[in-house]
A = this chain, B = another copy of it.
Amino acid sequence: MTPDEFRAAGRDLVDWIADYVEGVEQHRVTPAVVPGEVRSWLPAQPPTDVESWAAVRADVDHVILPGIAHWQHPSFFAYFPSNTTYPSILGELLTAGLGVQGMSWVTSPACTELETLMLDWMAQLLDLPERFASTSATGGGVIHGSASEATLCAILAARWRASGGRVNADGDTSRLVAYATSQAHSSIEKGLRIAGIGTDRIRLVPHDVELAMRPDALDALMAADRAAGLVPCIVVTTHGTTSSMAFDPTAAVAPIAAAHGAWLHADAAMSGVAALAPEQRWVNDGLDAADSYCTNPHKWMGVNFDCDLFWTADRVALLGALSILPEYLRSTAAEAGAVIDYRDWQVPLGRRFRSLKLWFTLRLEGVAAIQAMIRRHIELTQDLAALVAADERFEIVAPHPLNLLCLRLRAGDEATDALVEAANATGTALFTRTVLDGRSVLRASIGARATEARHVETAWRLLQSLAD
């Protein structure tokens, strides 16, 4: 492809994206395809000749669009918000165009230094404890691809610290124990398994009626494990669980974790960025004694996936767990301790220049616009809650302080399951089914940038009409 062809196709694609984003409502939320159908529309063999942009663009319209779920759709109420903003798209475009590798400071100083600055900016905007700032004694932050990866790194740091660093050599995880509630994200269990802490040594800490961790129960479990000769390694609290947006009491958990010698990681992947609105800063309560914390601008802040922010107050343990230095990666700057090499803060070696999209979003979209969006979503959720509460066929089954509402039909599990299925089958809205304390639940997550009151009202009328 020549530079001029790129200029022409690029301009066309920019327009295509603006048309797509502005017109996304015209699509079904989910595609009407069966397994294998998209593939059947494409050639089984790779092309032997160069094709035109027009041909590729036509396939984007006729093969890709009919095959995707539209996460930017204003009636997308499923899973979690994964919204995007125009500045973030520009940031991704620049990342691709520069094509630099940020594995070490020396492989692109601006990539490392902008990222460190963005983490410090975000720590200020979220009002996080000073101990997470890059300027603190042993703290600092990094962009991960996902909270799953951030959690895994927290686990590895915890494992390193609990073993006095010996785990790198002996691989001995046999006495380590981890703690979280049944409401913690599946990535916690997955990360623990990966790190050699199998499900036999993951304690599901009992929760209270609001699905939040019970500190007394945690204390009892940790004491029993220590009495049995085991080593508490990590406690993971969640600030906004996936199923119901429950908040574990990190402030009350922290002294217990500390007393038993365990790392405390607070997972606020879905909800932590709500603290961009000062009145919502309670979502991050209790972090003063946490060892690490993560939240995802790629969920509810309009920064494209992938952008998880991870902070730790103990980078010594993190680096102890993850750094490895072959000859071909040595640099004078790194050996002088003057710089951060982010490859040692993550599992992979390579890394993209992801801070650009965060920088672009904060400057070109602006914090005020993001705050307004977050506030609108919270308000829409509370409005929906009022509607649901007024219909005696439905019940709300969990607290809903932010933008997730969990509801069910009083008629029972089967009726609720059927409701989710019927609503999603219309293609006009998308919800997620979950199970809370053994009961089927419909989750309505309100977080797409384009979602307005009329979309929520239409979705509610749909649920009402299907409830009979």
Contacts and interface: CB of A to CB of B under 8 A. Distances in A.
A443 interface: yes
Interface in A326-345: 326-330, 333, 338-339
Nearest to A199: B169
A1 B66 CA distance: 27
A93 B13 contact: yes
Contacts of A152: 194, 347
Contact of A434 (B70, B101, B328, B356): B328
A31 B68 CA distance: 42
Contact of A31 (B109, B114, B201, B362): B109
Contacts of A352: 305-306
Given A69-B107, A148-B349, A324-B186, A167 B198 contact: yes
Contact of A174 (B99, B172, B176): B172
Given A3-B18, A114-B64, A196 B168 contact: no
Interface residues of A, number: 152
B94 A92 contact: no
A88 interface: yes
16 contacts: A7-B15, A10-B18, A10-B90, A17-B93, A44-B117, A48-B367, A66-B110, A68-B109, A72-B99, A89-B93, A145-B145, A148-B350, A156-B194, A169-B198, A243-B328, A347-B347
Nearest to A198: B171
B108 A69 contact: yes
Contacts of A187: 348-349
A111 interface: yes
Q: How many copies does the complex hold?
A: 2
A96 B72 CA distance: 11
Contact of A47 (B18, B328, B366): B366
Contacts of A172: 174, 198
Contacts of A122: 46
Interface string A184-206: 01110111011111111100000
A335 to B, nearest CB: 12
Most buried by B among A3, A16, A72: A3
Contacts of A428: none
